[in-house]
Amino acid sequence: MSTGRWWREVGWRHGVGLVAVLFAVVPVAYVVSAAFNPLGTVASTGVIPKHLSLENFAALFDDPARPFARWLLNTLVVCVVVTGVQVFCSALAAYAFSRLRFRGRRGGQLSLLLIQMFPQFLAVIALYSMFTAIGEVVPALGLNTLLGYSLVLLGGSLGQVWLIKGFFDTIPRQLDEAAVVDGAGHATIFFRIILPLARPVLAVTGLLAFVSVIGEFLMASIFLTDTQAKTLAVGLYGIIAADRSNNLGVFAAGALLTALPVVLLFQFLQRYIVGGLTSGSVKD
Amino acid sequence: MKAPSIVATAVIRVLCLGTAVGTAAALTPVLIAGRHYVFLAIVWAVIAVVLATYATARAVPAKYLVPGTLLLILFIVVPVLSTLQLSTTNYGDGTRTTRQETVERILANSVVQVPDSPKFNLSVATTGSPASGPITFFLVDQKSGALYSGTEAGLAPLERSAVTVTDNFVSAATGYTILTPLQVNAAADRLRDFTVPTGNGAIRQRGLHEAYEGRRTLQYDQGTGTITNTVTGVRYTTAREGDREYFVGPDGTRLSDQSWRSDVGLANYRRAFTDQHILSGFTRIFIWNVVFATASVALTFLVGLGLAVTLNDSRVRGQKVYRSVLLLPYAIPGFISILVWSGFYNQDFGLINQITGLHVNWLGSALWAKVALLLTNLWLGFPYMFLVSTGALQAIPSDLREAASIDGAGGFTAFRRITFPLLLVAVTPLLVASFAFNFNNYNVIELLTHGGPFSPGNPDAGATDILISYTVRLAFGGNGAQLGFAAAIATLLFAITAIMAAAQYRITRRLEEMN
C-alpha cells in the first residue's frame, strides 16, 4: 500500500484517534501533575509535571481537620455495602424476570423501568425529613450516619437489573432443566448454577455501581455534614471549595488515590464492560 | 439437595425471620412512646410482607423480587409520594412543626415563676443519646423530698427503689443516662423549650441543677382555637399572612413569630406559574434545561459514534490501546473530573486560557459558562457513547455491509442506509436514558458553575441553573428553606420525567417494530 493511500484509508484514523486521546488525557495528566507538584497552586501547575514530590500526599494524611483516611474508610464501607446489596438484589430480581413466569411479570418490568427514570434526589426534601425522624428513634440510622446514608442509596438497589437480566438470558435454559431433573429447586439453580456462570456480569455491574456510589455527591452533601461522617466526594469537595487555588495539590493527591484503583479495575474488566453496556440495552 | 443443607437453610431462615420480628418488636415501644404511628405501621407492614414471602413455600417469584422492591418502595416511592404531599403545604423555615406542637411551645414559653412556685433538684436524663435522645427530668422536691419523673407527656411520682439518690439528687436510674453538666449545657437549646406539663402550669429547667413549677400566663381554648392571656385578658386569634398563620391580638400584634405547617392547597403551584419573578426564572431555566440535556446527548453521541466508526476498522492497529485510553474519563469518579475542569476555566490561571492565549471570562459570563458546561459534559460523556457505539457496530453482521456494497452502495451510503439505522435501534434506549440523566444532572451543574453566574436582579436563579439545581437551592439555600415550594417544583419535575419516560417507551417500541 502506498503511503498516500495508507494515509487516505487508515492513517487519518490514527490522526483522529490521537486528537481524542489528547482530549481524554489532558485533564488526567493535569491531576497527576498537580498531585506531585509541591507548590500545590493553580498558577504553578501545568499538564507536564515540572516538580516531583510526595508532599501533597503527606499533607493529605497529616491534617486532622481533613481526616482523609477516615473519609476513605467511610467511602469504602458505603461502597461495599451498597454495591453488594445492589448487585445481589438486582441479581435476584433479574433471575425472577429471566427464568420465572408469573402474572404481572411484564407489568412489573415496565413499572420498574419507569420508576428508575425518576431521579431519587428529586425527593431529597422528603428523604431528609424522613431520616431526621428516623434518627430520633434509631440514632444509628439518622442523618450523619453511614448506615442511614447507605439506606438512602439502597433505594436504587434494583439499579442493575437490566444488565444482569440481559446476561442471564444468554445462559442456556437447558442447564436449568438438567438441574431440575437432578432434583434441584429454584434456589439451588440460582445459587449453584446461574450465579457462578454470571460472574463476569456481576463483576461489571458491581464496578459500575461502585463508581456511581463513589461519585455520589448530592445526597452525601446533604446527609453527611459531620467531618467524621463524610465520604471522599464531600470531603475532597470541601478541600477545594475552601481554597480553590492553594489547595489544588492536596485535592489532586486525594483525587489520584481515589481514582487510581477504579481506573485500574476498569482497564482490567474493559472487554466485559463493552459487551455488558450494549447487551443490557435490548429489552424484550 | 442433601438433607443437612435443608436443615441448615431452615435454621438460617428461622434465625433471619426471628431477628427481623425481634427488631420490630424492640422498636415498637419506642415508636409508640414517640408517637411515630406512621413509622410503626410501616415497620410492621414490612415485617408482614417479609414473613408472608419467606415463611411459606409459595410465591416463588416474590422471594426474588421482595428485597429490592421493598428498598425501592421505602426509599424512592414513599419519598416521592411524600414530596407530593409536602408540595401542598407551606413547610419551611419557621413552619416545621404542627399547629398543635407550636401551640404547646408558645404555651410552654409563657410559664413564669411566681413567688410560691415549688422548686426541685433536677437531674436531666435520657434513654437515647445525650445530644438527641428523648429527655426525662428526674426531680426531687426541695421541700418534701418527694421524687418525680417528668417527660413531655406529664409528671409521674417515682418509687424511691427505682433510682439511686445521692445528696438529694437522682444520680442513677436503670435504662437512663444522667447527663453531665457539660452535656446539659450542650443541650441548652432543646432544654429551653422542654417543659413538663402539670395541673396548674408546667415544670421548666432553671440553671444546671434546678427546676421550678411555674404558672402559665397563656391558655389555649380548644373549642375556638384561640389563646388568652390570663393576666391581661387579651385574646389572640389565628390570622393568615401570606402562606402562614400566626396568633395575632386585636391590635394586630403577633403573640409569637412562630408559625406552623398547614395545608395551602395548590398555592405553591399557583405561585410557580403566576409569580412573575419566579415564572420568568422558571421558563428560562426550563428552556436551558432542555437545551443542556439535548446538546449534551447530541454532542457526546456524535463524537463517540464518530470515533467508533473511525477506529472500528480492522486495518487500524492498536484499537485496544485507543479503547483503554479513551475509557479514562468514564472511569474517573465524576466529582473529581468536574472539579478539575472547573479549575481549567479560571480566567487568569486556567489551562484553557493559557493554552489558547484567550482571556475569556468563562464562568463569569452567562454564554461562556454554558459553553464550559457543554464542553465538560462532552469530556465526561463521550467515552460511554464511544464504547456503546463500538459494541453496537461490532454486533452488526458484516455480511449486511457486504451485501450493500455488492448492490453498489458506497462507504457513506452503506453507513447511512444500513449501519446507522441498525445501530440506532440498539442505542436509542441508551440515548433517551442519557437524556433523562442529563436532564437532572445536578452534579455537573453544582460542581462546575453552582448554577451561576447570577444576575443581581435574581439571586435565586442563575444563568446555568437547571430545574433540579434551582429546586435544591430553594430547599436548602441560604434564603430560608422553602421546602413546600421546592417540593412543588420537584413534583413538576417528576411530571416532566414521567412524560419523557412514556416517550422513551414509545420510541423504543416503534424502533423495535420497524425491525
Contact partners, residue B300, CB within 8 Å, separation at least 6: B377, B378, B381, B382, B384, B385, B434
Q: Which residues of B touch A126 (CB under 8 A)?
A: 78-80, 82-83, 86, 487
Residue B453 per-residue DSSP state: P
Question: Cα B474 to the chain's mean position, in Å?
Answer: 13
Mean pLDDT of B34-45: 86
Work out the percent of chain B whose per-residue pLDDT is above 90: 18
Task: Enumerate the residues of chain B whose CB falls inside 8 A of the CB of residue A283.
Answer: 429, 508
Q: What is the pLDDT of residue A7?
A: 80
- B391 contacts A278? CB cut-off 8 A: yes
Q: Which range (A87-96, B36-45, B343-352) has the least confidence?
A: B343-352
Each residue of B256-306: pLDDT tens digit?
A: 877 888 888 888 888 888 887 777 778 889 899 999 999 999 999 999 999
- Give the model confidence (pLDDT) of B436-468 as tens digits: 889 889 889 989 998 888 888 777 788 999 988
Predicted confidence (pLDDT) at residue B179 exceeds the cutoff of 70: yes
Closest residue to B333, CB basis, from A108, A138, A214:
A214
The predicted structure's pLDDT at residue B4 = 55
Residues A11-40 have a mean pLDDT of 89
Cβ-based contacts of B313 with chain A (< 8 Å): 10, 13
pLDDT in tens, B224-246: 888 888 888 888 888 887 778 88
CA dist B259 and B266 (Å) reads: 19
Query: What is the model's pLDDT at position A284?
Result: 38
Rounded CA-CA distance B465/B87 in Å is 21
Instruction: Determine the residue among A1, A8, A13 to mutate to test chain B binding: the one whose Cβ has the most chain B Cβ atoms within 10 Å.
Output: A13
Q: Cβ of B331 and A211 within 8 Å?
A: yes
Closest residue of A to B467, CA-based? A122
> Does residue B329 surpass a pLDDT of 60?
yes
Is the predicted pLDDT of residue B134 greater than 50, yes or no?
yes
Residues from chain A contacting residue B348 (CB–CB below 8 Å): 43
CB contact under 8 A, A24 and B328: yes
**Which residues in chain B are contacts of A31 at CB distance < 8 A?**
336, 340
Rounded to a whole number of angstroms, the distance from the CA of B92 to the nearest CA of chain A is: 10
Nearest C-alpha in A relative to B342 = A244
Question: How many CB pairs below 8 A link A and B?
Answer: 289
Residue B45 in this model has a pLDDT that exceeds 60: yes
The answer, yes or no, to whether residue A22 has pLDDT greater than 50, is yes
Q: What mean pLDDT value characterizes chain B? A: 85
Residue to substitute from A28, A117, A168, A268, interface B, most B β-carbons within 10 A: A117
Interchain contact, B322 vs A21, CB within 8 Å:
yes
Contacts of B371 (CB under 8 A, 6+ apart): B362
Number of C-alpha atoms within 13 angstroms, CB side, residue A123?
29
pLDDT computed for residue B68 by the predictor = 93
Give the residue-averaged pLDDT of A55-73.
88
Q: How far apart are CA B397 and CA B405, in angstroms?
A: 14
Give me the long-range contacts of B473-476 (CB less than 8 A, separation at least 24).
B475/A124, B475/A125, B476/A222
pLDDT for B293 equals: 94
Contacts 24+ apart (CB under 8 A), B154-158: B154/B196, B154/B197, B154/B198, B155/B196, B155/B197, B155/B198, B155/B203
Write out the three cell numbers for B163. 433510682
pLDDT surpasses 80 at B109? no
CA distance A41 to chain B (A): 10
B67·A157 Cβ contact <8 A: yes
In this structure, the number of other CB atoms found within 10 A of the CB of residue A160 comes to 28
Q: How far is B346 from chain A (nearest CA, A)?
A: 9
Min Cα distance A134 → chain B (Å) is 8
Residue of A nearest to B380 (CA): A24
State the average pLDDT over residues B216-227.
84
User: CA B223 to CA A94: how far, in whole Å?
Assistant: 57
Distance CA(A279)–CA(B394), nearest Å, equals: 12
pLDDT at B422: 83
Reported confidence tier of residue B379, pLDDT bands at 50, 70, 90: very high
CB contact under 8 A, B323 and A115: no
Could A270 and B313 be called an inter-chain contact, meaning their C-beta atoms sit closer than 8 Å? no
The rounded percent of chain B whose pLDDT value lies above 70 is 97
B68 → closest Cβ in A92, A139, A275 = A92
- Is pLDDT at B121 greater than 50 in this prediction? yes
Q: Is the pLDDT of residue B363 over 80?
A: yes
Instruction: State yes or no: pLDDT of B56 exceeds 90.
Output: no
Which chain A residues are closer than 8 Å to B68 by Cβ?
Answer: 89-90, 92-93, 157-158, 161
- Select from B83, B133, B335 the Cβ nearest to the Cβ of A215: B335
B512: pLDDT confidence band, cut at 50, 70 and 90? Answer: low
The pLDDT score that the predictor gives to residue A153 is 95
Grid cell digits, residue A146: 453511614
Contact B387 A277 (CB under 8 A): yes
What is the per-residue pLDDT for B390?
Answer: 87
**Which among A16, A134, A266 has CB closest to B310?**
A16
Is the CB of B336 less than 8 angstroms away from the CB of A259? yes
Average pLDDT for B149-156: 85
The pLDDT assigned to B289 comes to 93
Query: For the segment A127-157, what is each residue's pLDDT rounded down to a tens digit?
Result: 988 998 888 888 888 889 999 999 999 998 9
β-pair partners for B215: B112, B201
Q: For an interface test with B, which of A176, A217, A273, A278 has the most B Cβ atoms less than 10 Å from its Cβ?
A: A278
Q: Which residues does chain B have within 8 Å of residue A270's beta carbon, measured at their own beta carbons? A: 323-324, 327
| Three-state DSSP class for residue B259 | coil
What is the rounded CA–CA span in Å between residue B213 and residue B175?
Answer: 26
pLDDT of the residue at A282: 44
Residue A244's pLDDT is what?
76
For residue A88, what is the nearest residue in chain B, using CA coordinates? B68
Residue of B nearest to A160 (CA): B68
pLDDT surpasses 80 at A71: yes
Q: What percent of chain A has pLDDT over 70?
A: 94
Question: Cβ A262–B76 below 8 Å, yes or no?
Answer: no
**Nearest CA-CA distance, residue B402 and chain A, Å:** 18
Best mutation target among B78, B315, B332 (most A Cβ atoms within 10 Å) is B332
Residue A97, pLDDT score: 92
What is the per-residue DSSP string for B350-374? -HHHHHH-----GGGSHHHHHHHHH
Query: With an 8 Å Cβ cutoff, are B79 and A130 in contact?
Result: yes
Out of B61, B79, B343, closest to residue A96 by CB: B61
Bridge partners (DSSP) listed for residue B206: B210
B chain contacts of residue A222, beta-carbon cutoff 8 Å: 476
Query: Distance between CA atoms of B381 and B375, rounded to whole angstroms?
Result: 10
Dump pLDDT digits (tens) for B391-434.
888 877 777 767 777 777 667 777 787 788 888 877 887 888 88
Give B-chain residues touching A28 at CB under 8 angstroms. 328-329, 332
A110 neighbourhood in chain B, CB within 8 Å: 505
Strand order in the sheet with B218-221: B218-221, B226-229, B235-241, B244-248
pLDDT score, position A1: 64
CA B256/CA B243 separation, integer angstroms = 16
Judged against a pLDDT cut of 80, whether residue B322 lies above it is answered with: yes
Q: Among B79, B324, B505, whose Cβ lies nearest the Cβ of A123? A: B79
Asked if B310's CB is within 8 angstroms of A13's CB, the reply is: yes
Q: How far is CA B83 from the centre of its chain?
A: 9
Q: Can you give B45-107 as a three-state secondary structure string? A: HHHHHHHHHHCCCCCHHHHHHHHHHHHHHHHHHHHHHHHHHHCCECCCCCCCCCHHHHHHHHH
Whole-number pLDDT of residue B513: 65
Examine the pLDDT at B1 and tell me if it is beyond 60: no
CB distance A24–B80 less than 8 Å? no
